[in-house]
Each structure stands twice: as structure tokens, then as C-alpha cells.
Amino acid sequence: MASDGDLAIQAVLNELSERLESVLPTNIGFPAASDVDFGSLSGFFHRHLLNNLGDPFTAGAYPQHTKTMEVAAVTFVADLMRAPEGDRWGYITTGAGEGNLYALHLARGLHPRGIVYYSEAAHYSVDKALDLLAMPSIRVRADHSGRMDFEDFEAQVDRNRDRPVIVVANIGTTMTEAVDDVRTIHQILDSLAIRRRYVHADAALSGIPLALMDPQERPGFDFADGADSVIVSGHKFLGTPIPCGVVVVKASHCAHLTRTGGYTGSPDTTITCSRSGHAAMMIWYALCMHGIDGLRTRAEQARELAAYTHQQLVELGWDAWRNPYGFTVVLETPPPVVTQKWALASTHGRSHIICMPGVTREQIDNFMADLRVVADPVPVGARRQATHNGMAPVLRTATPATA
């Protein structure tokens, strides 16, 4: 018979489960794919501590790990990001924030006098990493679409030409999914004759979806385009139920960061010491289950749904906009009666819907039905004109994206 304690624990778990199920249908504002079933891995949660302590490429003394899967996942992502054969290394992080911290730590070791340039649209984890590492930095303006303002970037670098340049390029900003083209960054640095440079690509959300496109038809962001390191999240496009990420760097860059892990029997090359073996297993599983073709299909379907969502909003006369290739649709923040029901990320009068794999057309139609109730009863196009006066510039001036 179950004890009172058991019953109390079960009641808490049941309540949690109900709450999580109840928010699913209206959770369309955050970039977590929900179309992958990780149930086959549940057997590994019963009694094994899976700890990928130390370097993924050296098994080390602790026997319960998933480093073989970790290496396979890092290699998969390194191939996708066109990392140089024979000069690549990486590991599974706790998320993109740790990937940014690792990359900046690496860059600081290579260029101790470097200045970090990053756009005002960068994720707050970049500010945090700069703070922790005490690195000098310059926040560059972003344009109306969320992209780095390259004129401002050039002017800032020009003022500091005696210092090495470290750039954090956004490959899909958090709010608008804008991309800072890494090829353009290099052209600017070439034009200023800056030799000592390091470019990190924060590709948390968009790295894998963009990598599946023809490189000629998408912005530059990977190693072949000039990145020195790339981070992609595991819990965003790959939908892992535990937050994590894959950071990939040029192996030749990180020789100076290797410490011995002592009793662990594995070099201490990562930011944290103990690392989740479950996260590595989940990323590996998602990559294997989909393969390149499956991942590409998911990305294409997500873009199609984003185009559909954008179109629906435009037809309603609701201010909306989207960056090319993105899953993200930016819209004027709806009134509280809508935002209290729908989980949209909102700031400065703008919100976004992210059409991640797992978000359905039915959900979008349900959202639109709620929005129609509060939309002004004015002809299509007229409202758009009227609300523009009070809108944040990004919605007013950005060019509508192609599908």
C-alpha cells in the first residue's frame, strides 16, 4: 500500500504533468521543437548516473558515460558546419550560453588584447560571458530587422585598429532571427587590414536549419564562411527534453586551454567538470532518428508554417513581419486577453511566434481566431497603416521577407 508520503509525491507529479500538458497547445512563442519522442531513452533514467566527465575524446576513469555518442554528435554537427577535417573539436554544453562563454574564453586566450564586438540584438548570455571573463567590448547597433549595423561595426573597428578583433555574430537573434553574415564581417575586416581576428557564430536556433540550405542561398555563418567557432542548441531545433548545446571549434585554437583532469583520467577541456551524459545521448538520438533528410524536411515545414502565419496576420491587417529563412514571425503585441492565453515572448510592444517543428497549423488557426476577436473591424490594409504610427521601427520599415 502506498504511504502518505508516496501519495503526496504522486499528487505533486500529477499536478506538474497536468500543467505541462495544459500549456502545450498555446506555447507558440519559444524556440523548442516538440515533435520528437524521446521515450525510447527512458530506460536510461532509472539508475545510471551518466557523467561525461572531462574531454569527450578521452574516455577517462569514470565508466558510466556516453562519450561515444557525444563524439558522434559533435562530428555530425562539425560536418554540417563544414568544420575543417583534421582541425575540429567540440563538446556537448549545458546550452548556447555556455557555448558563447567557451568561445569567448578561447578567443581571449588567443587574443588577450582583443576587443569583442557584438550587436545590441545579441542574447544576454554574451553580456554575461563578457562580464565573467572581464573582456573589453563594444556593443554595435542593430538595424531595424535585428541585424548588426555594419556601418557602425566598421566605424567602431576603425577607431581601434591597433587591437585584435573578436566578433560574436548572431546567427538567428533571439527576437527576430536575424543573421549577421560572417562573410560580410570578414570583408569589412579585410578592408580595414585587420589581421588578428576571431569570429564566433552564436547559431543557437538557426545553425542547423541554415546549414541544411544551399550555402549560396543563405547568409554566411559556418567554418567555410569564416567562423572560428559555432554553437548550436540541442533543445531548440533538435527538441531535446534537457537543455544542452553543441559547441564546435577549430582544434588548433584550443591547445592553450588543455589542463590535466587529474583523477578523472581525461583532460579538463570543458567549462564545467561533470557533464550530462543524458544530454549527449539525446542529441545523438535526435540526429540519428532524423538524419540529414529528416532534419531538412522539418526545417522546410517550419518555414512554410511561418510563411503561412505571416500571411494570416497580414490578411487580418495585423502588423507582422519575418526575416528571410526564419521560423520566427514578429508581430505587434496583442492585448492582454490574448497574451494571457498564448505564450508569446514579448518586449517593447513586439511579440513573436516561433513556428518550431511540433507547432501545428491548427494551433496557428486557433491563435488567429482569438486575435480576430480583438482586431479592429477595419478593412484589410487600413489598420496596418494606422498602427504603424505607434509601432517600433522594426515593424515599420523592415522589408517583408520572402518565404
Binding site for ligand PLP (CB under 6 A): 95-97, 123, 125, 172, 174, 202, 204-205, 233, 243, 245
Write down the residue that cell numbers 564566433 correspond to.
200
Nearest to ligand PLP of 96, 148 (CB atom): 96
Nearest to ligand PLP of 56, 245 (CB atom): 245
Nearest to ligand PLP of 33, 316 (CB atom): 33
- Per DSSP bridges, beta strands 350-354 and 345-347 are antiparallel
Beta strand extents in 190-340 (DSSP E only): 197-202, 229-233, 245-249, 320-321, 328-332
Separation of alpha carbons 1 and 220, rounded Å: 62
Nearest to ligand PLP of 53, 122 (CB atom): 122
Nearest to ligand PLP of 233, 264 (CB atom): 233
Nearest to ligand PLP of 175, 371 (CB atom): 175
DSSP assignment, residue 163? S
Going 184 to 186 to 190 to 193, the CA torsion angle's sign is: positive
CB of 113 to ligand PLP, least distance (A): 26
CA dist 315 → 132, 299, 330, 383, 384 (Å): 47, 24, 15, 11, 10
CB of 3 to ligand PLP, least distance (A): 38
Nearest to ligand PLP of 54, 234 (CB atom): 234
CB of 129 to ligand PLP, least distance (A): 10
CB of 362 to ligand PLP, least distance (A): 26
CA dist 395 → 92, 240, 356 (Å): 36, 32, 22
Distance between first and last Cα of the chain: 59
Nearest to ligand PLP of 206, 266 (CB atom): 206
- 349 Cβ contact partners less than 8 Å away, ≥ 6 residues apart: 332, 333, 391, 392
Write down the residue that cell numbers 513586439 correspond to.
350
CB of 328 to ligand PLP, least distance (A): 10
DSSP assignment, residue 45? G
CB of 351 to ligand PLP, least distance (A): 15
Which among 187, 26, 182, 168 has a CA at the least distance from the CA of 105? 168
- 319 Cβ contact partners less than 8 Å away, ≥ 6 residues apart: 313, 331, 332, 384, 387, 388, 391, 395
Give me 374's grid cell.
Answer: 480583438
DSSP assignment, residue 348? T
CB of 51 to ligand PLP, least distance (A): 20
Nearest to ligand PLP of 239, 243 (CB atom): 243
Tell me which residue has its CB nearest to ligand PLP.
95
Separation of alpha carbons 298 and 242, rounded Å: 20
CB of 247 to ligand PLP, least distance (A): 11
Separation of alpha carbons 262 and 284, rounded Å: 28
Nearest to ligand PLP of 245, 261 (CB atom): 245
CB of 96 to ligand PLP, least distance (A): 3
Query: Quick one: angle between helices 277-316 and 361-374, nearest 10?
Result: 40
CB of 264 to ligand PLP, least distance (A): 24
In the three-class reduction of DSSP (H, G, I as helix; E, B as strand; rest coil), residue 95 is classed as coil
Give me 213's grid cell.
Answer: 540550405
